[in-house]
């Protein structure tokens, strides 16, 4: 590949507005910068697989251009990258690139590289491939370390192959001269507890204590097994193990206490849960939002609202800010007890504190007010809930049912309410339902507002239903409801984004005819459009004459 072509590929990652052709970077520096930029893009979830493979094409042509450390950092970034629009499976991409890398003699993988690949297999849930990489690493003679083995253990445990993992831990690792540490053991402890085998976890914990040294149980090990025993219903054993941990001088963390309190609350052992709560406070362990919410929920579930509110107030005094779950728990409890004024007080406090109400809080209030026949309040709550997009797709039918119920009563449904519902339908991807409700507006003896029309037009454009958007514009003209500046600017931008130059030019012409101003965002988009070659050049005459100056500004 020619050097010019190489610069074009690396520029995908390294180009900046200030870079010039007169001062090119040396090939090795350019490739290293490109790999570094690609690593950052991988972490951000914006690196496309095609770009990664293209970069590797260059790296293999110039194998001395980057270090193994830089290459491993790149693969590690892919391994840990969450799914994104750019690529859905970072670990799989890392494995594919590794396979290419391993076929190039100049780029022999290191132990660190294999560790990353085994970790990739764990994240991608392909334990057999992890074992294959492990065996391949052993054959290379590069040697293994504790990270290698722990990654393999995690891969096997994630696939519920805990017995195989136990064999690796107790037999294979010692044979290979790799002494298991507390982290290695903890991987198995977590897996046993997850599989409801807490008795196995207890046995393994005893083995750790006997071996001592780097295998000595720590607070995480004990907490994992204590939590597992509670989840298996072995409350007495769990409490006993907790006290054993304390006797060994291992101080419980907030996570340990919270796990115990949650389990005791679930078992309706509120006295014991309170005892552990007071104990953690006395020992200087600050309860967190999860700790408080667990206790508040337990009190509320048992109708002990006085105790629940005392804990709620203590929580706030300690500087722990309640979240949406905490508030919704109290709202639900008050609604169950038909204490709607108290429920609304909590709801108001929630919004006053800047905590966005969740679906659960709204739903409980709606059900409570429905039961009491307060349909005006129901209308307000449902409208607010839908406008915030809080009705999930599988719950949207419930919203429509509520509105039908409202319509059958004397509660007045205004255009603001209907517009809110239409907007919510689009958010829930209920396109046909939104269109049907829009058409049925006259049956409510109402007329669409300019906001209603704007919602229909913008959503039709977003959905690619351009002819239907045109029809709405025509309807507005017939109904003597002319589009305003906001609507036309927004429509123009959406159409430009879709590449609909002719329709966008028509909107811009209307803006010009009516003497409206172009919004800054619209001007910015036009400058960007005119700075590139494209279909707009064929239709430049359709744009208002006063926009011609933007062509010159964009090309200056």
Tens digit of pLDDT for each residue in 339-382?
988 988 998 899 889 888 877 787 788 777 766 667 667 667 76
CA pair distance 381, 402, nearest whole angstrom? 11
Q: Are residues 398 and 470 in the same domain?
A: no
CB 59 within 8 A of CB 51: no
Instruction: Count CB atoms within 10 A of the CB of residue 486.
Output: 13
Within 10 Å of residue 286's Cβ, how many Cβ atoms? 11
The number of CA neighbours under 13 Å toward the Cβ of 139 is 6
Cβ atoms of 168 and 144 closer than 8 Å? no
Q: Which two tokens stand for residue 355?
A: 């905590």
Residue 151 — φ and ψ, nearest 5°? -65, -40
φ, ψ at 499 (rounded to 5°): 80, 15
3-state secondary structure (DSSP) of residue 499: coil
Report the b/e string of 388-416 with b at 16+ CB within 10 A.
Answer: bebbeeeebeebbebbeebeeeebebeee
The values of phi and psi at residue 519, to 5°, are -75, 155
Q: Are 469 and 522 members of one domain? A: yes
Is residue 468 in a domain?
A: yes
Residues of the chain under the 50 pLDDT cut: 1-27, 393-394, 552-556
In a domain, 458, yes or no: yes
pLDDT (0 to 100) of residue 472: 93
pLDDT of residue 516: 87
The Cα–Cα gap between 257 and 482 comes to: 63
Sequence-ordered alpha helix ranges (H) in 179-323: 182-194, 198-211, 219-231, 235-247, 254-266, 270-282, 289-301, 305-317
Q: Please name the residues in contact with 5: beta carbons below 8 A apart, sequence gap of 6 or more.
A: none
N-term to C-term CA, the chain: 34
Confidence at residue 342, expressed as pLDDT on a 0 to 100 scale: 92
Do 395 and 463 lie in one domain? The reply is no
Q: Are 437 and 506 contained in the same domain?
A: no
Rg (CA), the chain: 32
Residue 485 lies in a domain: yes
Contact present, 514 and 487 (Cβ < 8 Å): no
The verdict on 454 and 556 lying in the same domain is yes
116, 94 in Cβ contact below 8 A? yes
Contact 133, 118 (CB under 8 A): yes
In a domain, 525, yes or no: yes
pLDDT for 106 = 54
> Does 454 lie in the same domain as 437?
no
Domain boundary among 416, 442, 468: 442
Domain boundary among 426, 442, 458: 442
CA–chain centroid gap for 209, Å, is: 39
539 and 501 share one domain: yes
Q: Is residue 506 part of a domain?
A: yes
Q: Examine the domain organization and report whether 438 and 472 are in the same domain.
A: no
Give the torsion sign (CA, 334, 340, 345, 351): positive
Name, in order, each residue with C-beta under 8 angstroms of 517's C-beta and a sequence gap of 6 or more: 485, 511
For residues 539 and 519, membership in a common domain is answered with yes
| Domain-terminating residue out of 442, 468, 491 | 442
288 phi-psi bin (left φ>0, alpha ψ -120 to 50, beta other): beta
Quote the pLDDT of residue 24.
38
Residue 273 is assigned to a structural domain of this protein: no
Contacts of 4 (CB under 8 A, 6+ apart): none
Residue 92 has a pLDDT of 81
What is the model's pLDDT at position 169?
Answer: 94
Bin 234: left if φ > 0, else alpha if -120 < ψ < 50, else beta: beta
Q: What b-and-e string marks burial along 180-215, b requiring 16 or more CB atoms within 10 Å of the CB? A: bbbbbbbbbbbbbbbeebbebbbebbeebeeeeeeb
For residues 464 and 480, membership in a common domain is answered with yes
Nearest alpha-carbon partner for 228 in 195, 205, 275: 195
Instruction: Tell whether 475 is covered by a domain.
Output: yes
Of the candidates 170, 69, 57, the residue with the CA atom closest to the CA atom of residue 116: 69
On whether both 459 and 491 belong to a single domain, the answer is: yes
Q: Which pLDDT belongs to residue 552?
A: 46
Contact 111, 145 (CB under 8 A): yes
Q: Do the Cβ atoms of 165 and 153 come closer than 8 Å?
A: yes
- Determine the pLDDT at residue 546: 67
Show the 3-state SS of 405-473. Answer: HHHCCCCCCCHHHHHHHHHHHHHCCCHHHHHHHHHCHHHHCCCCCHHHHHHHHHHHHHCCCHHHHHHHH
Flag whether 415 is in a domain. yes
Is the pTM above the cut of 0.75? no
Q: Which residue, among 311, 357, 301, 356, has the nearest Cα to 334 in the 3D structure? A: 301
Q: What's the domain count of the chain? A: 2
Domain that holds residue 531: 448-556
Task: Tell me, yes or no, whether 461 and 515 share the same domain.
Answer: yes
């Amino acid at each position: 590949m020619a050097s010019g072509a190489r610069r074009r590929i690396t520029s995908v990652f390294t180009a900046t507005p200030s870079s010039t052709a007169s001062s090119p970077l040396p090939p090795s520096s350019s490739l290293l910068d490109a790999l570094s930029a690609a690593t950052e893009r991988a972490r951000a979830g914006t690196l496309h697989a095609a770009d990664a493979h293209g970069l590797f094409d260059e790296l293999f042509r110039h194998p001395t251009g980057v270090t193994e450390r830089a290459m491993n950092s790149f693969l590690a970034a892919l391994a840990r990258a969450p799914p994104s629009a750019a690529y859905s499976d970072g670990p799989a991409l890392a494995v594919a690139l590794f396979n290419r890398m391993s076929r190039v003699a100049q780029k022999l993988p290191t132990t660190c590289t294999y560790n990353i690949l085994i970790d990739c297999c764990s994240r991608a849930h392909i334990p057999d491939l992890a074992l294959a990489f492990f065996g391949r690493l052993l054959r290379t003679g590069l040697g293994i370390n504790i990270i290698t083995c722990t990654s393999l253990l995690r891969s096997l445990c994630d696939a519920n192959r805990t017995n195989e993992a136990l064999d690796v831990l107790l037999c294979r690792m010692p044979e290979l001269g790799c002494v298991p540490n507390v982290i290695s053991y903890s991987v198995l402890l977590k897996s046993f507890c997850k599989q409801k085998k807490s008795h196995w976890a207890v046995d393994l914990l005893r083995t750790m204590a006997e071996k001592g040294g780097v295998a000595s149980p720590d607070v995480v090990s004990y907490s994992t097994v204590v939590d597992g025993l509670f989840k298996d219903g072995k409350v007495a054993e769990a409490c006993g193990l907790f006290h054993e941990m304390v006797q060994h001088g291992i101080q419980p963390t907030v996570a340990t206490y919270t796990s115990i309190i949650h389990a005791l609350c679930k078992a309706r052992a509120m006295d014991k849960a309170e005892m552990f709560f007071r104990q953690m406070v006395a020992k200087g362990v600050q309860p967190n939002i999860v700790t408080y919410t667990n206790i508040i929920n337990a009190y509320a579930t048992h109708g002990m609202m006085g105790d629940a509110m005392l804990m709620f107030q203590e929580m706030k005094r300690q500087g722990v800010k309640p979240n949406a779950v905490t508030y919704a728990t109290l709202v639900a409890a008050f609604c169950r007890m038909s204490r709607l004024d108290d429920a609304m007080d909590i709801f108001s406090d929630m919004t006053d504190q800047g905590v966005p109400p969740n679906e659960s809080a709204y739903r409980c209030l709606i059900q409570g007010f429905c039961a009491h026949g307060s349909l005006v309040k129901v209308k307000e709550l449902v409208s607010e809930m839908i406008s915030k997009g809080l009705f999930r797709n599988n719950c949207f039918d419930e919203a429509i049912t509520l509105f039908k119920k409202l319509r059958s009563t004397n509660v007045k449904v205004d255009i603001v309410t209907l517009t809110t519902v239409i907007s919510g339908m689009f958010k829930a991807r209920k396109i046909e339902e939104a269109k049907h409700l829009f058409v049925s507006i006259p049956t409510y003896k109402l007329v669409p507002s300019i906001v209603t029309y704007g919602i229909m037009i913008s959503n039709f454009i977003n959905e690619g239903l351009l002819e239907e958007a045109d029809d709405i514009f025509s309807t507005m003209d017939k109904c003597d409801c002319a589009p305003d500046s906001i609507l036309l600017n927004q429509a123009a931008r959406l159409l430009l984004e879709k590449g609909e130059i002719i329709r966008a030019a028509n909107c811009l012409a209307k803006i010009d005819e009516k003497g409206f101003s172009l919004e800054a965002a619209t001007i910015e988009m036009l400058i960007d459009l005119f700075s590139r070659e494209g279909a707009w050049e064929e239709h430049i005459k359709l744009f208002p004459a006063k926009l011609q100056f933007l062509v010159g500004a964009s090309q200056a």
